[in-house]
Amino acid sequence: MTLRGIFALLTLLFFLPDIAFSMHIIGGEITYECLGDAPNNSKRYRFIMKIYRDCLGSGADYDNPAEMAIYRGTPGGTVFTTVQNFKVSNPIITNLVPVPPECIAQIPNVCVQQAIYTFERVLPVLADESYFIVYQRCCRNLTISNLINPGDVGATYAMELTAAAQSVCNDSPVFKNFPPIIICKDFFLDFDHSATDSDGDQLVYDFVAPLQGGGPLLQPPALTSCEGAKPTPPCAPPFENVIFAPPYSLANPMGGNPVVDINSVTGLITGTPNTQGQFVVGVRVREFRNGVLLSELRRDFQFNVADCEPTVLANIETDSFKIVGAKKFAIKSCGENTVEFQNLSVDQSKITSWEWRFDLQNGNIFSETQNWNATVPFPDTGFYTGLLILNPNSECGDTAFISVDIFPKVTASFAYDYDTCIAGPVIFTDQSFGDGTIDRWDWRFGVPGGQSTEQDPEYQYPIPGDHPIRLRVTDENICSDDTIQVIEWFPVPPLIIIEPSSYLGCAPALIFFDNLSTPIDDSYDIVWSFGDGTTLEDTISPTHLYTEPGAYDVSVAITSPIGCFTSANFPNLIRVEPSPIADFECDPDTLLTNFNNTVHFIDKSIDAAHWNWQLDRFKTTIEQSPTFTFPDTGLVKVRLIVTHAEGCKDSMIKYLDIRPVVLWHMPNAFTPNGDGLNDGFLGKGFLEGATNYNMTIWNRWGELVFETTNPDEEWNGRAQNTGGMSPAGIYVYLVTFTGPRGEPFEFRGFATLVK
């Protein structure tokens, strides 16, 4: 919609406050009573118009006054004359309380109001014309399901007073019951929509199309237009029918299974609506006397079909069942002709009677009305049908439709064969049987991943153990059976495999023997012999320490839990070579400083043929007893690797601390006379690695005469080295600094200035 269109719509809504929110009309009808003769060949009539509205939301209130009109003309004609236009005020308005169907737990929130307009008129008796009393109003609810553009469709409520009815001062029929406000989807509808007639005339019922009138919603009212939302006055006949949205029609306004229909004689509306929604339905009652049509009473009304939640539901359970449709159960029994049905229906407090009913064929019927559950002895295999009926012949009831298949029994069975001591595959043979053809096998061999769908499989077990074998067989009828057998599978390995397969190393040798033989587990008796006089039992993969050089045989003996035995010997599997012992001394090994940093390393190793010295990051050498001067201070790592003549190695590591040392001394006098000898006051020494140096000099009055943070800057006798020469005498000095490893140093003394 364009901006101009939106503005026009908003403007129209502003000027039509009574119409903009009037999508509320849901039904109505007009009846009349003949009160007797009046002067000038006239009769007095009382007319009663009932209008129904949806009072939820923001729908418009009832018209007060209601604009009405009376026309005269020939029935079926196209030209009608206005008799009078008039207004009817002060309707009697009441709320209609919805009566929910029986056994419904919850119904939707609805609100319906009824307005009754009553007025009297004196009308001359016409010889061959009818009077038409008319009221028109927009609009119906937007949510109506069976109309096209329902929000733009209004309603016409009209009563035809025929010439025949005028002549005999007839009263119109009057509907006995108000239509049900709520109808439950998938519940059988049985509503008495009949009318009564005070004159005892013949009444004939049918569905008719409701009449249009008033609308669309946003059409401005016009004094002479039938297009307005509130035609003023209402327009004359003929009136147009509403247009049904497919698949709905005049004869099928609500659908359903069976289709919702009305009985022409009784006025009963029956059927089972199966679509949730709102449906406008028109009902007509034609009144005949001696075959002459006296009047037609029309009512249209909005039926609300809701998805109700019933409290009585038929439900059953058996060992094997599936629901195949709404309240339909397919039951299967394999090998058992007597089937127990358990009644799981709800709500039991509302279930007063029930019947289990099964056709056992050949004219035999099983019926159970006393016991809540039923045990049914079916005569043979085959297909049977049955019902569970709750509260028979009651609206508060339900029915479960049951089909039963009785199949022959299938029995699972199998045999197996294997060599108990040789770790080969197990051969399984299916021996299952039954009257039905077995076409599926599900083998589970008792270990993760061990399964097969073959009929006669072979399976090689990866691990020993007491393995539970389960076979499930299924026949063509989907009947199945399980059987379980436990197989003792404890063979010995066909080949004993260990790692290492050979070993050459140095004493002491700690060796892990990894037993790769299969199948074995902790239940096997395993004996190890390591060739050095020691044995070990009950360990699959041991660790053993060889302390002496030599060649060793290793043997393994394995006995399974059922007595199967195997063994293997591995000659000269382990060779252990002698190892040297690394050892050395340092001279000196303490009091090392940057002034004393040369170390002589003295080899003390045993059975060493080769030496490899790693002197921290500074040097490597193959000398037996080297000497080395360390170029830096700090903690240094010295490692000696020695090699036996057979190739075995050993190593030793020592750490030496080479401490940084600072040296400093101060003079006690100086002669700043410019002769180039002892002209400045300055300390001497070695300060490598020192930090935070500070020297201050004070005169005898406590005045600071010189300060420096540079250890190479001397005092020349002048104030801060730039002022006038200080007088001869004694001065106090203080020198502080921090050593390489954070230690504090302080020097105090007297400086004598001599001229």
| Contacts with 636 (C-beta within 8 Å, 6 or more apart), sequence order | 615, 616, 618, 630, 655, 656, 657, 658
| Residue labelled with tokens 């929000």 | 151
pLDDT of 322 reads 61
Fold classified for 410-489: Immunoglobulin-like (2.60.40)
Give the confidence band of 225 by pLDDT, cuts at 50, 70, 90.
low
Residue 616 has pLDDT above 50, yes or no: yes
Give the confidence band of 188 by pLDDT, cuts at 50, 70, 90.
confident
* Number of C-beta neighbours around residue 542 at 10 A: 16
- With CA atoms as reference, report the closest residue to 614 among 592, 585, 636: 636
- With CA atoms as reference, report the closest residue to 26 among 367, 268, 329, 279: 279
Q: 3-state class of 201 per DSSP?
A: coil
* Domain assignments of the chain as residue spans, ordered by start: 17-306, 311-407, 410-489, 498-562, 584-658, 663-753
Residue 167 has pLDDT above 90, yes or no: yes
pLDDT of 59 reads 62
Residue 586 and residue 638 in contact, taking contact as beta carbons nearer than 8 Å? yes
Q: How far is CA 93 from CA 23, 65, 100, in A?
A: 18, 13, 22
Reading the block at residue 609, the tokens are 């043929």
Q: Does domain 498-562 have CATH number 2.60.40?
A: yes
Phi, psi of 89 (to 5 degrees): -110, 170
Beta bridge partners of 733: 697, 749
Residue 513 and residue 543 in contact, taking contact as beta carbons nearer than 8 Å? yes
Distance of alpha carbon 47 from the chain centroid: 62
Give the confidence band of 460 by pLDDT, cuts at 50, 70, 90.
very high
CA gap 441, 480 in Å, rounded: 10
Residue 3 has pLDDT above 50, yes or no: no
Residue 224 has pLDDT above 60, yes or no: no
pLDDT of 591 reads 84
Beta bridge partners of 323: 329
pLDDT of 273 reads 93
Residue 718 and residue 635 in contact, taking contact as beta carbons nearer than 8 Å? no
Reading the block at residue 667, the tokens are 């003079």
Q: How far is CA 423 from CA 462, 498, 559, 568, in A?
A: 9, 18, 13, 17
* Number of C-beta neighbours around residue 370 at 10 A: 9
pLDDT of 97 reads 79
By percentage, how much of the chain surpasses pLDDT 90? Answer: 75
Residue 138 has pLDDT above 90, yes or no: no
Phi, psi of 157 (to 5 degrees): -115, 115
Q: What is the CATH code of the structural domain delimited by 663-753? A: 2.60.40
CA gap 349, 403 in Å, rounded: 27
Each residue of 359-413: pLDDT tens digit? Answer: 999 999 999 999 999 999 999 999 999 999 999 887 788 899 999 999 999 999 9
Give the confidence band of 17 by pLDDT, cuts at 50, 70, 90.
very low
Residues found in the chain: 755
Each residue of 650-672: pLDDT tens digit? Answer: 999 999 999 999 999 999 999 99
CA gap 271, 246 in Å, rounded: 19
Q: How far is CA 285 from CA 210, 266, 300, 312, 528, in A?
A: 13, 11, 12, 36, 108
- With CA atoms as reference, report the closest residue to 237 among 122, 163, 160: 160
Q: Considering only the top CATH level, what class is 311-407?
A: mainly beta
Q: What is the DSSP-derived secondary structure letter of residue 720?
A: G
Do the domains 311-407 and 410-489 sit in the same CATH topology, yes or no?
yes
Each residue of 674-694: pLDDT tens digit? Answer: 888 999 999 999 998 899 999
pLDDT of 393 reads 80
Mean pLDDT of the chain: 89
pLDDT of 15 reads 32
| Contacts with 8 (C-beta within 8 Å, 6 or more apart), sequence order | none
| Contacts with 617 (C-beta within 8 Å, 6 or more apart), sequence order | none
Reading the block at residue 253, the tokens are 């306004």
Q: 3-state class of 25 per DSSP?
A: strand
pLDDT of 325 reads 60
More confident residue, 1 or 246: 246
Each residue of 312-364: pLDDT tens digit? Answer: 888 888 665 566 666 789 899 999 999 999 999 988 888 999 999 999 999 99
Give the confidence band of 98 by pLDDT, cuts at 50, 70, 90.
confident
Q: 256: alpha, beta or left, given left = phi > 0 and alpha = psi -120 to 50?
A: left
User: Angle 198-200-201 (CA atoms, 0-180°, nearest 5)?
Assistant: 115
CA gap 462, 651 in Å, rounded: 46
Query: For strand 744-753 and strand 669-670, is the pairing parallel, antiparallel, or unpaired?
Result: parallel
pLDDT of 13 reads 32
The mean per-residue pLDDT over the stretch 185-209 comes to 92
| Contacts with 685 (C-beta within 8 Å, 6 or more apart), sequence order | 662, 663, 664, 665
The mean per-residue pLDDT over the stretch 407-426 comes to 95
- With CA atoms as reference, report the closest residue to 141 among 98, 96, 111: 111
pLDDT of 22 reads 41
* Number of C-beta neighbours around residue 488 at 10 A: 13
pLDDT of 20 reads 34
Fold classified for 584-658: Immunoglobulin-like (2.60.40)
CA gap 493, 423 in Å, rounded: 6
CA gap 503, 573 in Å, rounded: 6
Q: How far apart are the first and last CA of the chain?
A: 112
C-alpha radius of gyration, the chain, whole number? 58
- With CA atoms as reference, report the closest residue to 306 among 193, 191, 180: 180
DSSP string, 646-666: TS-EEEEEEEEEEB---EEE-
Reading the block at residue 394, the tokens are 């009651």
Give the confidence band of 620 by pLDDT, cuts at 50, 70, 90.
very high
Phi, psi of 105 (to 5 degrees): -75, -35
| Contacts with 21 (C-beta within 8 Å, 6 or more apart), sequence order | 58, 59, 60
| Lowest-pLDDT range of 219-223, 366-370, 539-543, 736-740 | 219-223
Q: Residue 11 belongs to what H/E stretch?
A: helix 3-15
Q: 3-state class of 4 per DSSP?
A: helix
Q: How far is CA 690 from CA 660, 662, 665, 693, 741, in A?
A: 10, 7, 15, 8, 8
